[in-house]
Structure 1
Amino acid sequence: MILIVGAGLAGLSAAYHLRGVPYKILEREREVGGLCRSYVKDGFTFDYTGHLLHFRQTAIKALVESLLPDQLQRHARKSYIYSHDTYTEYPFQVNTHGLPPEVVRECLLGFIATLSNPSSKPPAESRSFKQWIVESLGEGIAKHFMVPFNEKLWQVPLDELTSDWVSWLVPKPDVKDVVNGALGIKDKAFGYNPSFQYPASGGIKVLPDAFLPSVENLSYDSELVEIETGRRRAVFRSAQGERTELYDRIVSTIPLPDLVRRCVDLPASLRELAASLRWVSVYNVNLAVARECISDKHWIYFPEHRYPFYRAGFPMNFSPSMGQPGCSSLYVEISHQPVERESDAVLIERVRRGLEQAGVLQRSDELVMSDVKDLYYAYVLFDRYRGRAVQELLTELERRGISSIGRYGLWEHTSMEDAIAQGQQAAARLRMKAAA
């Protein structure tokens, strides 16, 4: 028997692709999706922050489109950065036109300076994230966007982070692109998501829900309490009490530190490795305003420290079904250390003041709905300890019959598409073992 722990996208995909092999899937919540969920409050639909579909893998794109036939709409990305009291298009490094001339000059000259003697730069894997920013994009772009924005997001000095994860997320432009961007010339799209798909109605939760007709033996309200890897037994807790499940293999999608803590017979050295893993939490502040069209954008980045949030997005611009007539809705993201906690009332007031200062909201705007979700595990920190710790943990867990997959199971920064692909790959490996 295969146990799948967690019914987020990775777990659901594993179950979907295990058809014909006995399995059980156990989920702590009373619904599937993990952070790929939506909820409705006072007639407004919100995701657990922004969840947009952009595909790099043909097979996963085809799978998702088969699960959601005629339910996805394509959007050309409208994402902007608000700094120096000015909106510029994302990504910053190729869209500095419109900023104060001295800022544009700093960014342009700084980038050009990175082009001299590239062979003297150390390999990417040995550079800190801050070094990578300065050496790849220049002092000006670092100063005016990349460093302040990422300090707000990651909540640690960027010298503490590695740069081995940035290649697919942060585009490195050519000098022509940077010059064109300084002059306001646009001749191509940049970034990993110049367009995206999003459900026409229902929010992103329709994606995990679409797996359910093909998934069997799913138990909700089933929280993993402990695993004895030697005896291949796992204990789960629900409203009805505790129950024990015997297994041949486990596919775990829960956060790697939580999984290790629940494996009661792992050596202390591995527990210490898991305890060294770091992450950042996010307050997801959702608001609805009694005014139409407060923004025509999909989302906005806020690098400056005078704003408490690093990003705000507008669900009603992904799909009109997310809101109510005569109103607008928005989600706002504030990073924080996992040990910190701020009251909802204080957060909502801070967010409102910041949005008014940025001109997104007006003093006269009426908030018709407000809500806060605290996302405890939001972004994994890629510090210098992570690589070795994760590799040792995953190798030992695999040796003991546990495959840890998904964004938090592999302790990495990946997309919904990647989670689905990892579930598919885990199922393929297990099917091969079952057939052997």
Structure 2
Amino acid sequence: MIVIVGAGLAGLSTAYHLSGLPYRIYEREQDVGGLCRSYRKDGFTFDYTGHLLHFRQAEIKALVERLLAGRLQQHGRKSFIYSHQTYTEYPFQVNTFGLPPEVIRECLMGFIATLTQPVASIAPKDRSFKQWILDNLGDGMAKHFMVPFNEKLWQVSLDELTSDWVSWLVPKPELKDVINGALGIKDKAFGYNPSFLYPANDGIRVLPESFLSGIDQVERDCELIEVDTKRRRALFHDRRRGESRTEHYESLVSTIPVPELVRRCPDFPQRLKEAAAGLRWVSVYNVNLGVSREQVSDKHWIYFPESGYPFYRVGFPMSFSPSLGRSGCSSMYVEISHRPAEQRAPEQLIEQARSGLEQAGILRPDDDLVVADVKDLRYAYVYFDRHRAKAIPAILAELERRGIHSIGRYGRWEHTSMEDAIGQGKRLAEQLRGQQAQPVTA
């Protein structure tokens, strides 16, 4: 028996690709999808912050397009940065045109200086994220966007974070691209997501739900309580029935956050328990708003690096699909990061969000908020720091030794996309199928 913990994209993909083998999939919530989920409120549909599909793997793209045949629409990215009371296109490093001349000069001169510096031989896991920014983009771009934005998002000094995650998310441009961007010349798209796919109706929840037709029953409202890794037994609490359930497994697939999994394994080595407890992450308040005015913005999303704004990003779901809101209205999601132990009242967050949106000119003082709702995403972005670099390989290796495969963004404690989660589930299922097919030898 294969037991899967968590019906997010990684868990669902694993189950979908295990077809024909005995397995059970358990989900703590009533709905599948993990953070790749949507909910409806007063005529609006909100995702658990922005979830947009962009692909680098042909096989995963083909799978998703087959599962969601006729339900996806393609969009050309309309994302911007708001700083110095000016909108510039994303990504910042190749779109400084329109900023004050002295800011453009600092960004250009700083970037040019990086081209004459010797290439650092420091391993990515040993070089700080801040140093990576300075080495690759220069002190001007660091000052005017990269450092303030990322410190607002991560809620720590960038000296504490390593750079072994940035290669595909923050590509280094060529000098020509930077100069063109300073002059307002656009001759190519830049970044990993210049276009994206999004469901025409019902929000991102249709993606995880599309796997269900190929999956045996999901055991919902069942939370993992404890794993006896030596006897290979998993204990669950079934909230609907108010009872405990024990599963014996040959392999356990976990997609829950690594610290949560290890905490539930009493017989795990103490030094690795302590290592898991030392992993860090940042949480995000997802403030969802419905406004009784059409098209408060024509953009898909906007980044806010400056400290005068409490949020780091604002997105507009009805720009992805008008079906996500009510006629004559607009909707938006506002992202405010916070440390996991810090808590703020929803009313305070909504007021802060509204004040910042008015300051930016997105909302007007007379705008009526017909919906205002807050979701606290406890696990949002994991920290890549020096502790993670040492702890995660050792933890994952010991879990594997005990028949536990920890996958997905939080299961591998990494920065990955929806596509990556689906791909990890598919590959693991193929590995497990291969193990089942191996002949038994004396």
Q: TM-score range by the shorter chain?
A: over 0.9
Matched residues in 2 for 1:368 and 1:228: separation?
A: 49
Alignment-derived partner of residue 358 in structure 1: 360
For residues 56-80 of structure 1, what are the alpha-carbon distances to aligned partners after superposition, in whole Å with 9 as ceiling and x for unaligned? 0000000000000010000000000
Identity %: 70
Alignment-derived partner of residue 254 in structure 1: 256
How is 1:158-197 mapped onto 2 (pairs within 5 angstroms)? Answer: 158-197=158-197
Alignment-derived partner of residue 418 in structure 2: 416
Post-superposition offset of 1:390 = 0.5
Matched residues in 1 for 2:90 and 2:217: separation?
A: 44
Alignment-derived partner of residue 14 in structure 2: 14
For residues 187-227 of structure 1, what are the alpha-carbon distances to aligned partners after superposition, in whole Å with 9 as ceiling and x for unaligned? 01111000000000010000000000110032001100000
Whichever residue aligns with residue 295 of structure 2, its letter is: C
Whichever residue aligns with residue 103 of structure 1, its letter is: V
Matched residues in 1 for 2:107 and 2:264: separation?
A: 49
Matched residues in 2 for 1:123 and 1:279: separation?
A: 22
Whichever residue aligns with residue 214 of structure 1, its letter is: G
Whichever residue aligns with residue 85 of structure 1, its letter is: Q
Matched residues in 2 for 1:382 and 1:294: separation?
A: 36
Contact 2:125 2:385 (8 Å CA) reproduced: no
Matched residues in 1 for 2:203 and 2:400: separation?
A: 35
For residues 372-395 of structure 1, what are the alpha-carbon distances to aligned partners after superposition, in whole Å with 9 as ceiling and x for unaligned? 000000000001110110000000
Post-superposition offset of 1:119 = 3.3
Post-superposition offset of 1:125 = 3.8
3-state DSSP of counterpart to 1:260 = helix
3-state DSSP of counterpart to 2:252 = strand
Identify which range, 368-377 or 217-226, moves more after superposition.
217-226
Alignment-derived partner of residue 201 in structure 1: 201
3-state DSSP of counterpart to 1:126 = coil
Matched residues in 2 for 1:236 and 1:126: separation?
A: 40
Whichever residue aligns with residue 312 of structure 1, its letter is: V
How is 1:34-433 mapped onto 2 (pairs within 5 angstroms)? Answer: 34-119=34-119, 122-239=122-239, 240=241, 241-433=243-435
For residues 137-162 of structure 1, what are the alpha-carbon distances to aligned partners after superposition, in whole Å with 9 as ceiling and x for unaligned? 00000000000000000000000000
3-state DSSP of counterpart to 1:284 = strand
Post-superposition offset of 1:120 = 5.2
Matched residues in 2 for 1:379 and 1:238: separation?
A: 29
Post-superposition offset of 1:123 = 4.4
Contact 1:74 1:195 (8 Å CA) reproduced: yes
Contact 1:307 1:354 (8 Å CA) reproduced: yes
For residues 72-98 of structure 1, what are the alpha-carbon distances to aligned partners after superposition, in whole Å with 9 as ceiling and x for unaligned? 000000000000000000000000000
Contact 1:104 1:182 (8 Å CA) reproduced: yes
The structure 1 segments of at least 4 consecutive aligned residues displaced by more than 3 Å after TM superposition are 119-125
Rate the CA distance shift 1:344–1:142 in 2: closer, same or farther, 3 A: same
Normalised to the residue count of structure 1, the TM-score between the two structures is 0.99
Whichever residue aligns with residue 315 of structure 2, its letter is: G
Alignment-derived partner of residue 23 in structure 1: 23
3-state DSSP of counterpart to 2:197 = strand
Whichever residue aligns with residue 288 of structure 2, its letter is: N
3-state DSSP of counterpart to 2:287 = strand
Whichever residue aligns with residue 307 of structure 1, its letter is: Y
3-state DSSP of counterpart to 2:247 = strand
3-state DSSP of counterpart to 1:119 = coil
Matched residues in 1 for 2:317 and 2:288: separation?
A: 10
Post-superposition offset of 1:118 = 2.8
Contact 1:88 1:97 (8 Å CA) reproduced: yes
Contact 2:125 2:386 (8 Å CA) reproduced: no
Contact 1:23 1:217 (8 Å CA) reproduced: no
Post-superposition offset of 1:105 = 0.4
Whichever residue aligns with residue 397 of structure 2, its letter is: T
Contact 2:382 2:413 (8 Å CA) reproduced: yes
Contact 2:5 2:224 (8 Å CA) reproduced: yes
Identify which range, 154-163 or 209-218, moves more after superposition.
209-218
Unaligned runs of 5+ in 1: none
Post-superposition offset of 1:238 = 1.5
Contact 1:355 1:361 (8 Å CA) reproduced: yes
Post-superposition offset of 1:117 = 3.1
Question: Aligned residue pairs: how many?
Answer: 436
Whichever residue aligns with residue 376 of structure 1, its letter is: R
Matched residues in 2 for 1:210 and 1:147: separation?
A: 39
Whichever residue aligns with residue 109 of structure 2, its letter is: L
Contact 2:126 2:386 (8 Å CA) reproduced: no
Contact 2:252 2:404 (8 Å CA) reproduced: yes
Post-superposition offset of 1:267 = 1.6
Matched residues in 2 for 1:96 and 1:169: separation?
A: 19
